[in-house]
């Protein structure tokens, strides 16, 4: 089984990838998307979204990190795909799944699921441009408004030469509302010859097993579930117990130190709040803390709250 850490814009940045791959269980990470319009982007854009390029295209734990591109112009996507691998990315991923309105309005992400021929042209242009040794993967949803083009889109991506295809088993219109329709992935599997990676609504090890059974896929991609339970990959792959809250707090402090050092606190408050919005789905303690944290505005106030909670947790664990 291969477990891939999903790209999540504004959440799974290089610091989060560093933290989660140190915990272990991941075989590949995909970056937040790099938006491509009508030019070959400078190297600094790639380094900003994927600083791992400066260390062999891997996290410190040794997990490969693949650059993801988003756009609609085959030529410019191909040009930037070549640049990505030249800079050290161990392959390229193409985003045809982003549901964000701003992205879709500019003809990027999931809106391209309405244009089967354009999907083919994009993947083929990128595959033809990138040296054969480097994989070219893609990520899709089941469709935009419905599933009428699901099979045609998957077949087009396969025919264009993609190395693998990750399928988020919902349409754009479904958003993130449960359920994820994993049996649809099994249907796709009957129509393509490339490896498929199942994605969507995997929160626990039992979810992962059910997803594998219903999708017919061994390989899975974890997104929000990985943030809700930081060692989710290890609970799936090696049957580890769920990480206790005390360790989660320690992880939050380490993440805080990384974020404050990396961005000087610029994005820290928003990112830690967003992480808590997922943690509270698995940890009751996080739900309680989130009610206080969401009212705070400054990084220093948030850090003080986390330190106080960690100290309280230490006392309780010693008493136990």
Query: Which of the residues 50, 98, 158, 217 is marked catalytic?
Result: 98
CA pair distance 190, 151, nearest whole angstrom:
9
Write the DSSP symbol of residue 170: E
Q: Is the omega angle on the peptide bond into residue 179 within 30 degrees of 0, that is, cis?
A: yes
Q: Where are the beta strands (DSSP E) in 219-289?
A: 220-222
List phi, psi (to 5°) of 138: -140, 155
Q: Give me the torsion for CA of 58, 60, 61, 64, rounded to 10°.
A: -10
Q: Is 98 a residue of the active site?
A: yes
**Are 4 and 197 within 8 A, CB to CB?**
yes
Q: Where are the beta strands (DSSP E) in the chain?
A: 3-5, 28-35, 65-70, 92-96, 136-143, 164-171, 196-199, 220-222
Enumerate the active-site residues: 98
């Amino acid at each position: 089984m291969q477990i891939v850490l999903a790209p999540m814009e504004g959440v799974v940045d290089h610091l989060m990838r560093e933290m989660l791959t140190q915990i272990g269980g991941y075989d590949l990470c995909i970056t937040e998307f790099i938006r491509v319009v009508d030019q070959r982007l400078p190297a600094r854009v790639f380094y900003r979204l994927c600083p791992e390029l400066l260390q062999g295209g891997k996290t410190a734990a040794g997990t490969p990190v693949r650059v993801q591109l988003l756009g609609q112009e085959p030529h410019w996507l191909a040009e930037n795909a070549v640049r990505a691998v030249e800079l050290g990315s161990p392959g390229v991923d193409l985003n045809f799944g982003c549901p964000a309105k701003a992205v879709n309005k500019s003809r990027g992400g999931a809106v391209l699921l309405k244009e089967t021929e354009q999907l083919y042209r994009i993947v083929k242009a990128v595959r033809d441009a990138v040296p054969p040794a480097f994989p070219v993967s893609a990520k899709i949803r089941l469709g935009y408004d419905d599933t009428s083009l699901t099979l045609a889109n998957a077949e087009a991506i396969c025919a264009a030469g993609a190395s693998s295809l990750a399928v988020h088993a919902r349409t754009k219109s479904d958003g993130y509302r449960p359920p994820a329709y994993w049996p649809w992935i099994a249907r796709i599997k009957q129509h393509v010859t490339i490896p498929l990676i199942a994605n969507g609504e995997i929160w626990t090890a039992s979810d992962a097993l059910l997803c594998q059974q219903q999708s017919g896929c061994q390989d899975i991609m974890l997104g929000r579930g990985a943030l809700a339970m930081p060692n989710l990959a290890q609970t799936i792959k090696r049957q580890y117990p769920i990480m206790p809250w005390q360790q989660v707090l320690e992880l939050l402090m380490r993440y805080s130190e990384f974020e404050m050092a990396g961005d000087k606190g610029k994005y820290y408050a928003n990112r830690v709040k967003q992480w808590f919005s997922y943690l509270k789905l698995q940890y009751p303690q996080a739900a309680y803390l989130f009610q206080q944290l969401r009212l705070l505005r400054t990084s220093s106030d948030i850090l003080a709250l986390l330190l106080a909670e960690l100290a309280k947790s230490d006392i309780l664990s010693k008493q136990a």
